Amino acid sequence: MSERLGVTPAQTVGPYLHIGLRWPDGPYAVPEGTPGAFWIRGRIVDGAGMPVVDALVESWQADPDGRFDHPDDPRGAQPSTVPGYRGFGRSETDAAGQYALLTVRPGPLPAPNGETEAPHLTLSVFARGLLHRVVTRLYFPDEPAANAEDPVLRIIDADRRDTLLATPAPDGFRFDIRLQGEHETVFFAV
């Protein structure tokens, strides 16, 4: 007779992010001093509006030409024309729940159905209490025509689209992420 073991309890993705998920290039999707580079800064808060102090934000984006140097790009991997471009960054949150990523503006992307996606960044958030990362997008507020035609933004309820729009800031853009509650950021099942 075999013994039946109990179910292993679920584990969250934190709180050891600072140890296991550090990225050598940190928050730099492009090197400092890259022409056209700017900062995306924001704050991650929970449902009560309290800062999430041990989270990690991971960014992934196309280059300014709308290309990825990755085999999953259906058009084929293509190195960026931006020297030192990585298109990927990781930023830990500080004691106030704030993160920062240095990047350049991505170009528009072809959508699988032949439409065009507006320039955007894909952001993943890892934090204590989450069983899986949550994934959202950051769109730019100064791209109204492209945003209006974006096939992803069009399927989001109109009253929630603003949770995906960054706001201008002196050194780039601000994008706060609310994990739950009123004005929760839109997250995608990926």
pLDDT tens-digit map of 70-111: 887 778 888 999 999 999 999 999 999 999 999 999 999 998
pTM reported for the whole predicted model: 0.88
Q: Which domains does the chain have, with CATH numbers?
A: 17-178 (2.60.130.10)
pLDDT tens-digit map of 104-131: 999 999 988 889 999 999 999 988 877 7
Burial class (CB in 10 A: 0-12, 13-18, 19+), 67: buried
What's the one-letter identity of residue 165? L
pLDDT tens-digit map of 6-24: 665 555 555 555 556 666 7
What is the Cα–Cα distance from 70 to 67, expressed in whole angstroms?
9
